[in-house]
Amino acid sequence: KNEVEQSPQNLTAQEGEFITINCSYSVGISALHWLQQHPGGGIVSLFMLSSGKKKHGRLIATINIQEKHSSLHITASHPRDSAVYICAVERRADKLIFGTGTRLQVFP
Amino acid sequence: GAGVSQSPSNKVTEKGKDVELRCDPISGHTALYWYRQSLGQGLEFLIYFQGNSAPDKSGLPSDRFSAERTGGSVSTLTIQRTQQEDSAVYLCASSLTGWSNQPQHFGDGTRLSIL
């Protein structure tokens, strides 16, 4: 069993829909990262959080340490949000363990 | 430059050859990481540097892989006697101090193809 599990693996949505991507992990962590990888391959760090909730524009990330679960929400989704979203957990000294990613396609 | 720079962006080589991949981290970042992403696979940790030292080499897949970092800046990842299974995108990232809760900044990667 992977230490970091994401769901769903693939997600399609119509423009404007509210989107949720889930991440569960089975190990103790010091922080959790949400990353975005566009079709060209470049990776952008979206959020890094160890408790509670963070918001940046239309993106919201939450984490529940007791339940070992995090969610990434996208409000008012747009075709430019189409990308692979990757959850990664940090166990020690910034070594990241990655989930397999969620491929999101938003259609106009 | 302002971001993490990797070179070459693409490398095609024959099986059995050695390859060297380069990473220029963001200036002032003490921590540097190498990852790889095989086709259709998730990201995999390879090695982490704090300054010029690599306290964690656990991710290197075999003794054909080695990495060094000099002057606390540029790092090179070397793969000797390349095999077809080494084909992947090799990504470098850096962070400011290497302590937890520091965001990692990624380069665009080197796409390595072994013929």
Taking only the tens place, the pLDDT of each residue in A89-106 is 988 765 788 999 999 999
Give yes or no for residue B19 having a pLDDT over 60. Answer: yes
Q: Which of A21-30, A64-73, B33-42 has the lowest mean pLDDT?
A: B33-42
Range A40-69 average pLDDT: 92
The reported pLDDT for the residue numbered B100 is: 66
Q: Residue B57 to residues B41, B62, B65, B87: CA-CA distances in angstroms? A: 21, 10, 10, 20
The overall average pLDDT reported for chain B is: 91
Q: For residues A53 and A63, what is the distance between their CA atoms, to the nearest angstrom?
A: 6
The reported pLDDT for the residue numbered A14 is: 97
Range A69-81 average pLDDT: 97
Q: For residues A20 and A38, what is the distance between their CA atoms, to the nearest angstrom?
A: 18
Percent of chain A residues past pLDDT 70, beyond the cut: 96
pLDDT digits (tens, 9 = 90+) for A2-11: 889 999 999 9
**With contacts defined as CB-CB under 8 Å, which chain A residues touch B100?**
30-31, 50, 90, 92-94
**Residue B54, both tokens:** 């690599």
Pairing assessment for the beta strands A31-37 and A43-49 based on DSSP bridges? antiparallel
> Which residue of A lies nearest to B92 if distances are taken between CA atoms?
A43
The reported pLDDT for the residue numbered A94 is: 56
The reported pLDDT for the residue numbered B32 is: 93
B71 near A CB under 8 A: no
Q: Do the Cβ atoms of B42 and A42 come within 8 Å?
A: no
The reported pLDDT for the residue numbered B10 is: 96
On whether the CB atoms of residues A42 and B101 are closer than 8 A, the answer is no
The reported pLDDT for the residue numbered A30 is: 87
Q: Residue A93 to residues A8, A13, A97: CA-CA distances in angstroms? A: 29, 37, 12
Range A23-37 average pLDDT: 93
Range B93-113 average pLDDT: 86
**Residue A5, both tokens:** 């599990």
- A1 pLDDT tier (thresholds 50, 70, 90): low
Q: For residues B5 and A94, what is the distance between their CA atoms, to the nearest angstrom?
A: 20
From the centroid of its chain, how far is CA A76? 17
**With contacts defined as CB-CB under 8 Å, which chain A residues touch B101?**
30-31, 48, 50, 90
Which residue, among A16, A20, A21, has the nearest Cα to A102 in the 3D structure? Answer: A21
